[in-house]
Chains A and B, each alone.
Chain A
Amino acid sequence: RKEVEQDPGPFNVPEGATVAFNCTYSNSASQSFFWYRQDCRKEPKLLMSVYSSGNEDGRFTAQLNRASQYISLLIRDSKLSDSATYLCVVNMPQAGGYNKLIFGAGTRLAVHP
Chain B
Amino acid sequence: GAGVSQSPSNKVTEKGKDVELRCDPISGHTALYWYRQSLGQGLEFLIYFQGNSAPDKSGLPSDRFSAERTGGSVSTLTIQRTQQEDSAVYLCASSSSLRGVGLANYGYTFGSGTRLTVV
Please give the residue numbers on chain A whose beta carbons come within 8 Å of chain B beta carbons, in ascending order: 31-32, 34, 36, 42-46, 49, 87, 89, 91, 93-94, 96-106
Contact = CB atoms under 8 A, between A and B. Distances in A.
Interface string B74-113: 0000000000000000010000010110011101111111
B78 to A, nearest CB: 21
Contact of A43 (B48, B91, B100): B91
Interface range, B side: 20 to 34
A43 B92 CA distance: 9
Contacts of A100: 33, 45, 48, 56, 100
Contacts of B70: none
A89 B45 CA distance: 12
B62 interface: no
A105 B42 contact: yes
Given A42-B112, A91-B103, A98-B100, 7 more contacts: A43-B110, A44-B91, A89-B107, A94-B55, A100-B33, A100-B56, A106-B42
B43 interface: yes
A89 B103 CA distance: 12
Contact of B107 (A31, A46, A93, A97): A46
Contact of A101 (B55, B107, B111, B113): B107
A49 B111 CA distance: 19
Contact of B42 (A93, A98, A103): A103
A31 B108 contact: no
A21 to B, nearest CB: 14
B96 to A, nearest CB: 12
